[in-house]
Amino acid sequence: MKILVCIKQIPDMASKFKPNAAGSWFSEADLAFRMNEYDEYAVEEAVKLREKDPASELAVLSVGPARVVEALKKALAMGCDRAVHVPDEEAYRKDPWQIASIIAGYAKKGNFDIIFTGMQSQDRGSAQIGPLLAGMLGFSCVTTAIGFSLEGRTATAKRELEGGAKGVVKAALPAVITCQLGLNTPRYPTLPNIMKAKKKEIAVLNAAELSSEAALAGTEKFYAPVKKGTGLVLEGGDAAALAGKLIDVLKEKTTVLRG
């Protein structure tokens, strides 16, 4: 079994985002980066599958600038066998079609049976890479998996639906599975595994050689949303004083503290 997991590195979502000089995406100054949360679930699921079959092999891939090597190292420490870095300082300007094309350019030669990735990135939130990649490779594709099992060449995935029900889908391999939060419990890399990961291979490939597809869409602007409500802000002072202020507001504006 040959397994690939595709990951992205994203800024901490609690950060304050400011536009870059071109005004088309965030400025990376002062931001701390980490592995996309959805991709952590993808890595965990791939590692679990890898562990069941000692003859299998698990590669992790990321497209992006030099900093993404940190995310690759984490995936290696979680249990991936080898990493592939496609350095691309301009990755943030590429659209999902271009990124999927780069990954497909690598994956089509890799003879993979199954590819895991997050259902979306936390920063871009396009949720397109998985299905686009599957289309380019001619793989089956299940999105938003919160349950996964494999028997022979058939994967069974549970898709999360509105209202809490799940749709059960069987997919013939080769397949792309996009992972939803809650699919599993991503492990923390242990110190021995972090040490072991240092010896694992990180291959470097050339983005332009993998794909020369042009963008289908471009980002013109990046900005904070216009606030719809003009909510009241309570801040400063100690917790007791703030709590007192809030109680006054609740007494005035709601009925829940009456009677």
Give residues 21-40 in contact with another protein (rule: CB under 8 A): 25-26
Closest CA relative to residue 90, chosen from 215, 1, 216, 187 = 215
Query: With binding defined as CB under 8 A, does residue 232 bind another protein?
Result: yes
Query: With binding defined as CB under 8 A, does residue 1 bind another protein?
Result: no
C-alpha–C-alpha distance, residues 145 and 120, integer Å: 12
Query: With binding defined as CB under 8 A, does residue 193 bind another protein?
Result: no
Note if the bond before 87 is cis, omega within 30 degrees: no
Q: At its nearest, how many Å lie between another protein and the CB of residue 198?
A: 30
Residue nearer to another protein on the CB measure, 27 or 193: 27
> Which among 47-55, 73-81, 128-136, 189-197 is the span making contact with another protein, rule CB under 8 A?
128-136
C-alpha–C-alpha distance, residues 136 and 144, integer Å: 19
Query: With binding defined as CB under 8 A, does residue 234 bind another protein?
Result: yes
Q: At its nearest, how many Å lie between another protein and the CB of residue 31?
A: 11
Closest CA relative to residue 109, chosen from 59, 71, 64 = 59
Contacts of residue 105, Cβ cutoff 8 Å, sequence gap at least 6: 209, 210, 211
Length of the chain: 259
Residue nearer to another protein on the CB measure, 52 or 221: 221
Vertex 201: Cα angle to 198 and 202 (nearest 5): 95
C-alpha–C-alpha distance, residues 139 and 112, integer Å: 10
Among 35, 80, 136, 197, binds another protein (CB under 8 A): 136
Residue nearer to another protein on the CB measure, 130 or 189: 130
> Which among 61-69, 82-90, 154-162, 191-199 is the span making contact with another protein, rule CB under 8 A?
154-162
